[in-house]
Amino acid sequence: MKNILLLFMALFVLTANAQESKTITVEGVDYNVIPMVTAKALVDGSSNLKFSFATNRESDVYAIDFGNGELQTVSVKNKNISAKVYISNVALGEGNITIYANEDVAYFGLTENNTVRDLDLSKLTNVEVINVAKTAVSSVDVSKATKLTSFTFKNSKLTSLDLRNNTALTDNGLYVNDNELKSLILPANNSLTTISCQNNNLEELDLTSSTKLQYLTARENKLKYLDLSHCPELITITVNDNILDSINMTNVDKATTVILKNNNISKIIGMKTDGITTKLNVENNKLSFTSIPDYPVNITKAKNFTYAPQAPYEVVSKITSSEYVLDLTSQLYAKGILESDATTSFSFVKEDGSALVKGTDYFVIAPGKFNFLSANANIHGVLENEAYPLFTSDNAFVTTSFNVTEGVVTNIVDMCDSAADGKIYTLQGIQIDEISAPGIYIKNGKKYIVK
C-alpha cells in the first residue's frame, strides 16, 4: 500500500510539472523550461523590473511572463556565469510574474528600482550567484541552494535570513546591506572572506565559524557585543554606530583598518595595534585613559588615529559625608602617543564655566584624590594629559557632573592625636600628602601659614 501511495505521488508531481512546463524553440532548437522563480510586484506602469541570468550549459533559454500571459524570451550561448543575459519590463496584469528556465540556472539577478513584494527562489537548487537589490521583499528561502557561492540581497526589507545550509559560500562574499534584518544565521565552517550587513537591526552576530573572514562591515546595527576572536584573518573591521559596550579582538593581529566609533564601548579585549596602518577610529565611546587602545606605531598618518571625544568618565553623582573623597587615580597616568607614561593634570569646573580654586574649594588629598570643601552643584572634572593631545576644548576629556553638599568633611583627625606623626593636616583635620595652595596647615602639632 505504501509503495502504491509513493508511486501515485510521483506520478502526480510528474503530471504537475508536465502541465507547468513549456517548450520554447530558438533557432530550431527546442528547450523545455519550467517555472523556476515566481514574484509578486506592484503594478504601477512605470517601475522597470530587470532580471538577469547566466547558465553553465552550452546554450540555454529563459522566458518571463510579466503578468499578462505572454512570454518574453532570451537565449544564451555561452557556458560562462559572467556572460549574463537580461529581460526587463514593467509588471502587468495582477503583477504575478513567472520566470521559466531549466534547473541549471547558475546566476539570478534582479536589480534597478522595482516594486517586487514577494520573491520565491526556493527552486533554484543549482544557482551559484544571487544578486538582488531594491525590492520590498521581507523574506527569502535559499535553503536548497547548496551550491551558492555568493549572495547579495541589498536595499530590501528582509527581517531574517537563514544561510546555515549554504556551506559553499566563499570569498565571493555575503552582501545584505540596508535591510531590516534582526536575525542572520551563517553556515557552519564557512569560507566567507567578506560579510557586509550594514544598516540592519541585528542585535547579535555569531562569527564563530567565519575563520577565514577578512572584511567585516556591520555598522549601523544594534549590536551590543561582538566576538571577533575566531576571525584571525580580519583585515578591515567596520562596526561603528552600534550600541556595543565591549568587543573581543583577541587573535585579530592582521587588521589594518578598525572603525569602532559611535558605540558605548568601555572595554576592548585583546586588541593589538601594531598591524594597523590605515585607520583606527574609536571616538565617541566610553573609553578612558586606561582603555583607549595603544597608539598604532605603524599607522601611515597620525591623524588617522582618532580617539576624541569620549563620553564623560563616570563618577559618583553626589559626594556625601560618608564618601567625601573623589578618587581619579585610575586616570593618573597615560602613555598614549608617548614612549612612556605622562601624569594627568586635574581641574574642576562649575556649571557656569568658572573654575574651582585649589585650596579654597578643594584639596588634593593625594595624587588623583580630591576633597571638596564648599557646596557646589553640577561640577565636573577636566582631565588633561599630553599622551592624548586631541582631548582639548570641545573634545576635552571630562567626568560626569556631580554635586557637593555642605558638611561633607566628617573624617576629621583630632589635632591632639596628630601632635608628632609628621603628617600634614588642614585646619579642618583633613590629612593631605602635600601643600598645594596657600593656607594654614598643621604639622607635628604646629601651625604653619603658607602664603
9 within some domain: no
423, 446: one domain: yes
444, 382: one domain: no
Q: What is the DSSP letter of 278?
A: S
The number of folded domains in the chain is 4
152, 36: one domain: yes
Higher pLDDT, 26 or 132: 132
Examine the pLDDT at 431 and tell me if it is beyond 80: no
* Contact residues for 313 (Cβ-Cβ < 8 A; gap 6+): 288, 328, 331, 381, 383, 397, 398, 399, 400
Highest mean pLDDT among 34-43, 352-361, 405-414: 34-43
345, 388: one domain: yes
Examine the pLDDT at 445 and tell me if it is beyond 70: no
| pLDDT tens per residue, range 127-159 | 999 999 999 999 999 999 999 999 999 999 999
* Over residues 42-65, mean pLDDT: 90
Long-range interactions of 147-151: CB distance < 8 A, separation 24+? 150/174, 151/175, 151/176
Under a CB-based contact definition with an 8 Å cutoff, are residues 434 and 441 in contact? no
89 within some domain: yes
Look at residue 378 in the predicted model and tell me its pLDDT: 94
Under a CB-based contact definition with an 8 Å cutoff, are residues 343 and 335 in contact? no
35, 141: one domain: yes
**Where is 18: in which H helix or E strand?**
helix 2-20
C-beta neighbour count of 327 within 10 angstroms:
15
Look at residue 166 in the predicted model and tell me its pLDDT: 96
Give, in degrees to the nearest 5, the angle at Cα 58 between 55 and 59. 75
Cell of 54: 547566466
* Over residues 273-292, mean pLDDT: 97
* Contact residues for 399 (Cβ-Cβ < 8 A; gap 6+): 312, 313, 314, 315, 328, 380, 381, 382, 383
The band of 443, judged by pLDDT with boundaries at 50, 70 and 90, is: low
Look at residue 435 in the predicted model and tell me its pLDDT: 66
Q: What is the DSSP letter of 318?
A: E
328, 279: one domain: no
Look at residue 417 in the predicted model and tell me its pLDDT: 47
444 within some domain: yes
| pLDDT tens per residue, range 332-361 | 999 999 999 999 999 999 999 999 999 888
250 within some domain: yes
Domain carrying residue 42? 23-162
Least trusted range by pLDDT, from 250-259, 319-328, 367-376:
319-328
Examine the pLDDT at 321 and tell me if it is beyond 60: no
Between CA 277 and CA 367 the distance in angstroms is 36
Cell of 389: 593631545
Examine the pLDDT at 433 and tell me if it is beyond 90: no
Q: What is the DSSP letter of 241?
A: S
* Over residues 188-196, mean pLDDT: 92
267, 337: one domain: no
282, 300: one domain: yes
Examine the pLDDT at 223 and tell me if it is beyond 80: yes
Whose cell is 553553465? That residue is 56
284, 344: one domain: no
Cα-Cα-Cα-Cα torsion 127, 133, 138, 142, nearest 10 degrees, comes to 10
Look at residue 372 in the predicted model and tell me its pLDDT: 87
Give, in degrees to the nearest 5, the angle at Cα 441 between 439 and 446. 140
213, 322: one domain: no
Question: pTM of the entire structure?
Answer: 0.85
* Over residues 426-449, mean pLDDT: 62
105 within some domain: yes
176 within some domain: no
Between CA 162 and CA 147 the distance in angstroms is 15
- Residue 127 to residues 123, 345, 438: CA-CA distances in angstroms? 9, 63, 82
User: 311, 344, 370: which is the final residue of a domain?
Assistant: 311
Look at residue 129 in the predicted model and tell me its pLDDT: 95
117, 67: one domain: yes
392 within some domain: yes
Percent share of the chain, pLDDT over 70: 85
Between CA 90 and CA 253 the distance in angstroms is 50
CATH number of the domain at 328, please. Answer: 2.60.40
Look at residue 323 in the predicted model and tell me its pLDDT: 56
Examine the pLDDT at 298 and tell me if it is beyond 70: yes
351, 296: one domain: no
Average pLDDT value for the chain: 87
138 within some domain: yes
| pLDDT tens per residue, range 231-241 | 999 999 999 99
